[in-house]
Amino acid sequence: MSTLLEVRGLNTVYRTTEGQIRAVDSVDLSVGRGEILGIVGESGSGKTTLVTSLMRLIKSPGRILKGGEMLLDGEDLFRLPRSEMPARRGRDLALIPQSAMHALNPVIPVDKQVAEAITAHGKAGRKAALRTARERLVEVGIPPERHSAYPHELSGGMRQRCVIAMAIVNEPKLVIADEPVSGLDVVVQARILRLISDLKESRSLSMILVSHDLPTVTRICDRIAVMYAGRIIETGEARTVFEKPLHPYTRVLVEAIPRVRGPKQDLRSIPGDPPDLHRLPSGCNFEPRCPAALTDCKTVDPSLEEVEPGRKVACLLYHDDERE
Amino acid sequence: MRGVSFGIAPGEILGLIGESGSGKTTVARAVMGLVRSATGSVRFEGREMLGLSEQALRKVRRRLHLVFQDPYDSLHPGMRVHEIVEEAMKIHGVGDRAGREAAVLAALKEVGLTPISHFTGRYPHQLSGGQRQRVAVARAMVLDPALVLADEPTSMLDPSLRSGILQILKRHRDTHGTGYLFITHDLALARHLCDRVAVMFGGRLVELGPTEAVVANPLHPYTKMLLQAVEELAPPSPSGADYPTSDQAQESYATIASGLQEVAPGHYVACNEMNQPILDRPTTEKEE
């Protein structure tokens, strides 16, 4: 699989009244063609800032620090002038935002909105665009009789399908989905995820899928990266990370999942609170809550290192040289 | 909501399962006496709640408490943690100042907000979502209610903090014998917490039974569909599914549920619908 996206040294900071915080801290990631990379993180992990940074939609008081690279098909999007970005969004990289209700214009029928996404890039005339828009709506499972409906006339699942249609309509190189199923009922969640899997097969979609829900991500992603306090702390092939989590944080995430089948185990939880980016510990960010912390973890800040081919973890438990 | 019947025994956790629009929250509101148009009967500790005057209801509510879904909305932003937890005791005229303070500290300790001195003087905006929900739970526990109605109390929390709240509820049930109506859309979560589950669909109960029995052997087509979705969203299982058998279903407090028929001990289902596919879902949320 050839590499489509390569991000190196991404840092995004916010200026706050209490000083500067680094919401995304030295993040490297890559997405292959036809691959789905899942990014898992809880509140304060920086996943939304990461998505916003990749779309280059970070606004003051936030900014992306110089020195990072975002190579999409070999072209560094961070080097493009800001004015060039609107033309790239939707065409090079498209976003499926968190709330479909807020992403849609309430006073325009959905087929016209999807068509607008095409004409905005000057790719087709109005009639041709509307025709393409309707084809995409059918592709995502909206029957023709609902194409001219307004967003409020559709269910949450249907609206999410429209937003997905809008994201793929210009055949972007990369789709970024931010919590595409959160807030939907479980039956609908399952259907939307099935749709994303189907689209991945039929269109060999390349995608970054961001979620707080590890099982969801494991189901449909090829690889996953786990974020904590702005950093990626573990990454690897999705099933492997899920079945054999290495980082103590990932382990708790796996053991906190209630299961409907199999033996009923006690659900784990993490003591303490999500990290406060203003007051990060001097050693490992997870050390204050870590059930497996070593003495060195208070002082040594572990880097993300390869421990097996394709498997990286930022934890002293697996770094022989740093521990000595 | 129509024809909904169920009972909760002291110390029992009943899960009320259903999707948005299925009527779960309305059931909780009706139990609290907040739905004026409700007809039928709500008996709490032997006393009929429907038709009670506001004054009489207020007395009953001392033994009945709600925990809401959104800990960002349910705490007064201008009150400190100890005031929030103490307020209900003041309203009901419970204890003197020293007694109330001791009860507040005990409740905060029970929900794990320690060191307590670090939290009592704080305002809600200074707390994380998980801490806020703990304050809401402490507020519900401080009057030692007989029944707690918890409306999706963990759905807005991070997965790593969710189980902490569930453990507190379970422990409180074990030590105080409190009954719980636990409203959730998550059948997997209910399996870990609830003794029995009631499945709601389109404002009606369609299935009710011991949790393990319902999960192992769902009978109503809607329950089946829900379970299938949950399994589809669940992480892939490496070792193959280990299905519990329905004879593991424990004896439970029998409930005569109107419109439901008992098909196994304590396991009720809306039988006339058992083998019918769900064609037109009577919920507001129409999907495909």
Is residue A309 predicted with pLDDT exceeding 90? yes
Amino acid letter, A200: K
Chain segment A108-136, per-residue pLDDT in tens: 999 999 999 999 998 789 999 999 999 99
Question: What distance in Å separates the CA atoms of residue B135 and residue B110, rounded to the nearest whole number?
Answer: 10
Question: What is the number of alpha carbons within 13 Å of residue B193 lying toward its C-beta?
Answer: 35
Residue of B233, B281, B283 best to disrupt the A interface, most CBs of A under 10 A: B233
Helix ranges (DSSP H) in A120-185: 126-139, 156-168
Chain segment A143-175, per-residue pLDDT in tens: 999 999 999 999 999 999 999 999 999 999 999
The reply to whether residue B235 touches residue A258, judged by beta carbons under 8 angstroms, is: no
Question: What distance in Å separates the CA atoms of residue A28 and residue B140, rounded to the nearest whole number?
Answer: 45
Residues 6+ apart with CB under 8 A from A96: A163, A164, A167, A175, A176, A177, A178, A180
* Interstrand relation of A311-313 and A305-308 (parallel, antiparallel or unpaired): antiparallel
B120 contact A CB<8A: no
Average pLDDT of chain B?
84
Nearest to B160 among A157, A239, A270 (CB): A270
Find chain A residues with C-beta within 8 A of B189's C-beta.
Answer: 258
Do A215 and A132 meet the contact criterion of CB atoms below 8 Å apart? no
Q: Which two tokens stand for residue A37?
A: 């990379």
Do A302 and A284 meet the contact criterion of CB atoms below 8 Å apart? yes
- The C-alpha torsion from B7 through B8 and B10 to B14, rounded to 10°, is 160
Rounded to two decimals, the ipTM of the complex is: 0.81
Nearest to A185 among B188, B237, B285 (CB): B285
Confidence label for A253 from pLDDT (cuts 50, 70 and 90): very high
Terminal alpha carbon distance of chain A: 37
Q: Across the A/B interface, how many CB contacts are shorter than 8 Å?
A: 133
The reply to whether residue A260 touches residue B236, judged by beta carbons under 8 angstroms, is: no
Is residue A1 predicted with pLDDT exceeding 80? no
The reply to whether residue A185 touches residue B19, judged by beta carbons under 8 angstroms, is: yes
Q: Which two tokens stand for residue A128?
A: 């041709």
Counting residues of chain B whose pLDDT is more than 90, the rounded percentage is 49
- Distance from the Cα of B185 to chain A's closest Cα (Å) equals 7
Say which residue, A184 or B208, is predicted with more confidence: B208
Do A274 and B204 meet the contact criterion of CB atoms below 8 Å apart? no
Question: What distance in Å separates the CA atoms of residue B264 and residue B262, rounded to the nearest whole number?
Answer: 6
Q: Which residue of A has its CA nearest to B224?
A: A187
B192 contact A CB<8A: yes
H-helix or E-strand containing A9?
strand A3-16
The reply to whether residue B188 touches residue A259, judged by beta carbons under 8 angstroms, is: yes
Do B122 and B80 meet the contact criterion of CB atoms below 8 Å apart? yes
Find chain A residues with C-beta within 8 A of B187's C-beta.
Answer: 186, 260
Counting residues of chain B whose pLDDT is more than 70, the rounded percentage is 85
**A144-149 own/partner pairs: CB under 8 Å, 24+ apart:** A146/A110, A147/A109, A147/A110, A147/A111, A148/A109, A148/A110, A148/A111, A148/A112, A149/A109, A149/A110
Confidence label for B275 from pLDDT (cuts 50, 70 and 90): low
Do A170 and A90 meet the contact criterion of CB atoms below 8 Å apart? yes
Q: Which two tokens stand for residue A33?
A: 């063609």
The reply to whether residue A158 touches residue B128, judged by beta carbons under 8 angstroms, is: no
Chain segment A26-70, per-residue pLDDT in tens: 999 999 999 999 999 988 899 999 999 999 999 999 999 999 999
Highest mean predicted confidence (pLDDT) among A11-20, B248-257, B262-271 = A11-20
What is the reported pTM? 0.87
Nearest to B237 among A261, A264, A270 (CB): A261
- Distance from the Cα of B219 to chain A's closest Cα (Å) equals 16
Tell me A219's DSSP state: H
- Distance from the Cα of B93 to chain A's closest Cα (Å) equals 34
Find chain A residues with C-beta within 8 A of B166's C-beta.
Answer: 267
Confidence label for B284 from pLDDT (cuts 50, 70 and 90): very low
- Distances from the Cα of A150 to the Cα of A91, A154, A163, A169, angstroms: 25, 7, 13, 19
